[in-house]
Amino acid sequence: MAEKKKFNVEYEVKSSPKILFGFLSEPNGLAQWFADDVTYRDQLYTFTWDGEQQKAKLLSIKENKLVKFKWIDDEPHCYFEMEIIQDELTNDVALAITDFATEDTIAERKLIWDNQIQYLISVLGA
């Protein structure tokens, strides 16, 4: 089985870190753009797409800054992280995504993130 490698993508988001953070960390926020449905119980987030469920554990969270998840059934070194970066001079806000994929699926994964983040931006009305 091919080993998964880390990759990063970054998007400009016209939103305040505080508002954006709610969409990255709260089940009802995540359910508006990331998955069809999201529930949180016993330290586990359950994401549902087309009736298929995937569970993720919250590895770390920093208020208005960062959320890091790990899929329960993923390889030990893998995780996905959404970090809010704000430029101190311009106050521009960017969303940096760190994820893992095999060499031959990285392009596809990036495309999925592109689509998800475009959708998030439209939900934010940004």
- Amino acid at the residue 68: K
Q: Judge whether 43 and 58 are in contact, CB under 8 Å.
A: yes
pLDDT tens-digit series, residues 62-117: 999 999 999 999 999 999 999 999 999 999 999 999 999 999 999 999 999 999 99
Q: Judge whether 47 and 35 are in contact, CB under 8 Å.
A: yes
Q: Residue 64's beta-bridge partner residues?
A: none
CA–CA separation, 95 and 10 (whole Å): 6
CA–CA separation, 11 and 79 (whole Å): 19
pLDDT at 126 > cutoff 70: no
